[in-house]
Amino acid sequence: MSHLYTRIIMYNKSVKKGIFIMIKAIVIELLQTTVAGLIIFLILITLTSNTVIEHPSMMPTLVENQRVIVNKAAYARISRDDSTTIGFIPLDATISLTSSSILDKFTNENRVYLFSEPKRGELIVFHSPPNPERDFVKRVIGLPGETIEIHRGKVIINNQLLNEPYVKHRSTDSFPPTVIEPDSFFVMGDNRVRSEDSRVWGTVPLDSIVGKLWVRYWPLNLMKSF
């Protein structure tokens, strides 16, 4: 009888130990999952932002009240001359010296994009030149160093007519031949008759660009990546 009682006690201790180990493993896994989720969440907050389309200037590509996600890291860059930023990422003096040494090793340029530089046709979000407190969404049309002109609504880049299948509402205005400044971009809305853009207030400086339009997520039935 005493042997049976002893075995029961030992069995109960073994069961309790097994349950403790299982609970411990579950708690550790939950903590790891929570920490990983928190890290991903913080990264997403840092590298992306949400924007609501408030104007019909980008119709039909984007319409009012649609919601989009902006990739703020799309044009991240290392700059030799700017000792305070890598794209949108603040740096201290120590890191800026390291950035300069990286440029010396890999290129003779003053700037290196970590992913990609702004390209023609891309949709970007930027601080409005007339009012930096407001952000606009437009399409990149002209690049630094190019000569742009508009003749009765038709865009001409370096004497070549630009094909623009995304424009459904073309204007009839004209714009004189103009050389785009370094580190600046000529932007326009797809809805040319309802867009206030570089035709009105000039080019957008590189440092004013917030990021590249990444995803239209609302409404759900019109979800699309750009």
The string of pLDDT tens digits covering residues 187-198 is 999 999 999 999
Q: Which of 114, 144, 167 is the last residue of a domain?
A: 114
Q: pTM of the predicted model, to two decimals? A: 0.74
Q: Is the pLDDT of residue 93 over 50?
A: no
DSSP state of 31: H
147 and 202, same domain (yes or no):
yes
The structural domain count of the chain equals 3
Q: Which residue, of 63, 88, 114, is where some domain finishes?
A: 114
Rg value, the chain, Cα: 27
Q: At which residue do the structure tokens 């794209």 appear?
A: 87
**What are the Cα distances from residue 167, in Å, to 79, 124, 143, 150?**
35, 16, 19, 14
Asked if residue 103 and residue 70 are part of one domain, the reply reads no
| 187 lies in the same domain as 93 | no
pLDDT value of residue 41: 57
Identify whether residues 204 and 154 lie together within a single domain.
Answer: yes
Residues 106 and 150 in one domain: no
Which band of pLDDT confidence, cut at 50, 70 and 90, is reported for residue 78?
Answer: confident
Q: Which of 76, 78, 54 is nearest to 67 (CA)?
A: 54
Say which CATH number the domain at 180 has: 2.10.109.10
Do 163 and 128 share a domain, yes or no? yes
- Quick one: 211 and 101 in the same domain? no
DSSP state of 181: P
151 lies in the same domain as 60:
yes
My answer on whether 96 and 141 are in the same domain is no
**Domain assignment of residue 6, given as a range:** 1-47
Same domain, 42 and 149: no
Q: Angle at CA 53, nearest 5°, toward 48 and 59?
A: 125
Asked if residue 98 and residue 86 are part of one domain, the reply reads: yes
Are 197 and 137 part of one and the same domain? yes
Contact indicator for 53, 61 with CB cutoff of 8 Å = no
Residue 102 confidence (pLDDT) above 90: no
What percent of the chain stands above pLDDT 90? 50
Mean pLDDT, the chain, rounded, equals 81
Q: Which of 47-56, 76-85, 106-115, 177-186 shows the highest mean pLDDT? A: 177-186
Going by C-alpha positions, the residue among 179, 173, 105 that lies closest to residue 188 is 173
